[in-house]
Amino acid sequence: MRGYDKYAFEPFAVTVDLAVFTVRAGELQVLLVERGQAPYAGRWALPGGFVLPHESAETAARRELAEETGIVDVSGLHLEQLRTYSEPGRDPRMRVVSVAFTALVPDLPEPRGGGDAAQARWLPYGGAGALAFDHDRILADARERVGAKLEYTCLATSFCPPEFTLGELQQIYETVWGTALDRPNFRRKVLATPGFVEPVPGAARLTGGRGKPAALYRAGAATTLHPPLLRPEGRSS
Asked if residue 227 binds DNA (CB under 7 A), the reply is: yes
CB closer to DNA out of 52 and 230: 230
The answer to whether 183 contacts DNA (rule: CB under 7 A) is: yes
Q: Which entry of DNA, a second copy, none binds 26, CB below 5 to 8 A by partner kind?
A: none
Residues in CB range of 142: below 8 A, 6 or more apart: 19, 21, 82, 100, 102
Query: Based on the number of CB atoms within 10 Å of its own CB, is 160 exposed (0-12), middle (13-18) or buried (19 or more)?
Result: buried
Q: Nearest distance from residue 50's CB to DNA, in Å?
A: 44
Within a 13 Å sphere around the CA of 8, how many CA atoms are in the beta-carbon half?
1
User: Which one, of 108, 132, 138, 114, lies nearest residue 29 by Cα?
Assistant: 108
39 counts as binding DNA under rule CB under 7 A: no
Bridge partners, residue 219, by sequence: 197
Q: For DNA, which residue of 115, 184, 201, 234 counts as binding (CB under 7 A)?
A: 184
Q: Is 235 in the site for DNA (CB under 7 A)?
A: no
> Among residues 11, 53, 211, 234, which is the contact residue for DNA, using CB under 7 A?
211
Which among 30, 70, 42, 65 has a CA at the least distance from the CA of 175?
Answer: 30
CB of 26 to a second copy, least distance (A): 27
Closest CB to a second copy among residues 3, 184: 3
DSSP summary character for residue 155:
G
Residues that bind DNA (CB under 7 A): 165-167, 182-185, 187-189, 192, 204, 206-207, 209-215, 227-230, 232
